[in-house]
Amino acid sequence: MDVKKLIGNRIKSLRRRKGYSQEKLAEVVGINAKYLSSIERGAENPTLDLFIRLSQGLKVSIYEIFEIEHEGEQSKLLRKKLKTLLADVKGEELVRVIRILEAVIH
């Protein structure tokens, strides 16, 4: 995967972990939400100043934004594990699992 996309995914992951919408984080760091969306998709080249502001807005060290070495591979492994776990869930249990996942994701 492209490094810019990995960094964008990392920013998105950190943003979601904080419970921020794109609009909220964009407001905190003083940029347009569409620009943040482009960064998260790996379509933009943010400046060092913006990375610093993003790290401050997310309340993480700038180093954490660049912890991407396993981001892509870890996601693949986690998705595979989730698929394996879901294969064993049946009926009403599946409905409960889906409700829990939806609550966590949204």
Question: Domain check: are 91 and 44 in the same one?
Answer: no
**Domain span holding position 11:** 3-65
User: Are both 56 and 9 inside the same structural domain?
Assistant: yes
The predicted-structure confidence for 90-105, as pLDDT tens digits, reads as follows 888 888 888 888 887 7
Contact 100, 42 (CB under 8 A): no
pLDDT digits (tens, 9 = 90+) for 17-69: 999 999 999 999 999 999 999 999 999 999 999 999 999 999 999 999 998 86
Residues 18, 60, single domain; the answer is yes
Question: 55 and 84: one domain?
Answer: no
Structure-derived torsion over alpha carbons of residues 97, 24, 29, 58, reported in degrees to the nearest 10: -30
Q: Tell me how many degrees the CA angle 71-73-77 measures, rounded to the nearest 5.
A: 115
Claim to verify: residue 15 and residue 29 sit in the same structural domain = yes
Instruction: Give the tokens for residue 31.
Output: 């940029």
Contacts of 89 (CB under 8 A, 6+ apart): 97
Is pLDDT of 77 > 80?
no
Asked whether residue 12 falls in the same domain as residue 41, the answer is yes
Split into its structural domains, the chain has a count of 2
Q: How far apart are alpha carbons 34 and 82 in whole angstroms?
A: 31
58 and 78 assigned to the same domain: no
